[in-house]
Structure 1
Amino acid sequence: MKKVIILFVIMTTSVFSQGWNNVVQTTIPFTSASKVDLVTNKDGNHILVTYADYPTYYLRYYLVNSSGAVIRNFTFENQAVQFANIDGTDDRIYVVYKIGNQIKTRKSTDAGQTWLTNIDPLDIGNNTCNNIDVTFGKDDNALHVVWATQDNGNDYETYYRRLYNDEWEAQKNVTDYGNEVGGFPTVSKSPNRVHVSYNTGQSYDPETNLGDAKSRDKYINTWQSPQLVFPTESFRERIHAGNSKLFDFYYKLETGMGQYHSDLYVKERSFGSTSWSSPQLLKQFAGVNEILSATNSSDGNTHIVYEISDGVGYRKYNGSYWSAEEQIGDGYISPRIYSVSNDLYVVWGRIVPNQKIYNVYYRQYDAAPLAPQNPQLSANPGNNKVRISWTRNNEADISFYKV
């Protein structure tokens, strides 16, 4: 009689409560004029810090583990750089920054141990640049870069390029539609679409810039008509493709009661729509120099961090509404957030009174790990055993699976 054996395989890591871990003061130095950016993958937290306190100028990369300890660092430049960004995926990390009249791109495929220099720099001219932003498209396996230069009298023009297989594709002037102009661009990616935001103001300084908040989409290979998000009194904005909706976070001028400040609002729409929702106030008296950071987790939520008075504010969007504001850290310089699976990783610079040198701080929301993907059973010829295989999840804090 033939016997059929059914094998049940249970894979697990460990069971623990979900929540924010303690704040960690890293050993990464930070100054009041520094900026920080973050991308996280299976190798850990990849942190990029721009140091810009005279006479100290340099751009440095740090790899930090899930406990906040520095594993390695690498210095890209020992001179002044602007608008440095980091992004990537599990098998590669990109660093993009402006130096002189060029945008340079460096890539690592070994968790920051070595950095390739084979990607051609982009010459963007000598006119004033007021922002560079990047995003890595996991659906098209490409890096998307936007920047703006003051090429039209006092007006800025926003430009876009896509890097695929380490080769730049043709450049696009995003603000070439009719009489469009605009600077302070940001970029985000949803399936088959590139989303770019820009502002029609004429200033290099976001605190003195005022204009229309606008966006423009590229659908597959076609650029759509620009869309007005908010008119006239916006300092700047960030566009972000959430799990189910497109968001535009903008900083609105408020002048009532003799006060002059900015409030942070958000509007949303479906990816292919041209109709934005009514605005929702997220934060009164929001600083515009430190633009908010956004990320998506595997459970369908979108998460943001932004500066609040002496701290880092956090909210999440569950597909229907935004949670109440939560302070997750003290100090507020350049807060950045990134998600892997359902874990959240946040870094920021903290101000300590009467000190010139500060540190980068780190905090993790430690969610229950996801199950490994693609479990398979296969014959292992020669020893009469069955081979069990699976695809490891990319959480930075997983060390092993127990079978």
Structure 2
Amino acid sequence: MTSPRPTVVVTGLGATTPLGGTAEETWQAILAGRPGAATLDESWVEEFELPVSFAAQLTVPAAEVLKKVETKRLDPFAQYALVASREAWANAGSPEVEPERLASAVGTGIGGVQTLLTAWEALRTKGPRRVYPLSIPMLMPNSAAGTVSLEFGARAGAHTLVSACSSGAESIGYGAHLIREGLADVVIAGGAEASIHPLPISGFAAMQALSTRNDSPQTASRPYDTDRDGFVLGEGAAILILESEEHARARGANIICELAGFGVSADSHHIAAPEPEGAGASRAMADAVRDAGATPADLCHINAHATSTPVGDVAEVAAIRRAFGDDADHMAVSGTKSMTGHLLGAAGALEAVFSVQAVRDRVAPPTINIDNLDPAVTLDVVRDTPRPLGDGDLLVLDNSFGFGGHNVALAFRTFA
């Protein structure tokens, strides 16, 4: 007879974002409906004549938080992961755990792109002797997971999932898998990204994926609005501390909520465009709810992927309807990228933090910048102000999708 799988709980949160230097500062800004995008004060915007001149940058630069040696030896995305992980670890009460029972799982969509391009420029203009010796370990996509593992002595694995914009969410799901399979007691899980640089901006702009509202950055990210024209590039990191319920109870931890379900699928449709009928995304959502031992009727809130692209937003609406049918009518749907911008590989992790905070505070965050709701968006979108989620047990969903056809959904539930 097999023993029941361990219950996975969340005991700590950390983030550094375009809205705040901590998870709590960011959440309060989200509830206040504050936009994080602004015009870039960088010489390269004019130098390269970029078609997009704004983004959502960190409010607290990592250099103000980390030691100089840390910023010297880490690509910005790994710096952000370290900042968020330290906050999450402290928020969880700095748990005592055997190193062999502690893992890190930190995903990224692009990784150390700033280090890579800086090293290439040094090689091109100054020769191979001027390439920084730590360039390779800094640019590796796994450098954030490795850095976090070194920081906390995590020896149950330093895992890196690279699945574009669903990387952070999938890393959290993978962390839950490690605990459920008995491979770890505690996992430091999330995502990090630092790609506000002329090359990624140029690439996304060439795809016509970015908003070009250069005259109004704060209103550029507008999920579900009829005049949406693309996403706003953001940066940052978000981390959850996941534990088995048994481990958390044994040390008297403050349990915030349960990570109850995890769903993952692939569209196998197009390298960048979403499957228009939402078949793959709907499977991930339905699987997450099923994995939680729940039904669509139990689901009260969805933090949607909602990037503000013309095609992506309505494809997700179709997927939600396909997964949940008429039950979707009672789900409060939020598009928090309207404030944070799109953090790419860190987006799903940050929205997982928001989902945990929504369960904790029993409130769904708002979506801003909707002047005219797209008629194709047949959902109950939370607009402008937060909405109370009521009493009783709550089940909320965090959706994350990425280029390559990746679909991830995480279900969080109140913990008694």
Higher RCO (Cα < 8 Å, 6 or more apart)? 2
Identify the TM-score tier after normalising by the shorter chain: 0.3 to 0.5
More helix by share: 2
- The structure with the largest alpha-carbon Rg is 1
Q: TM-score, normalised by structure 1?
A: 0.33
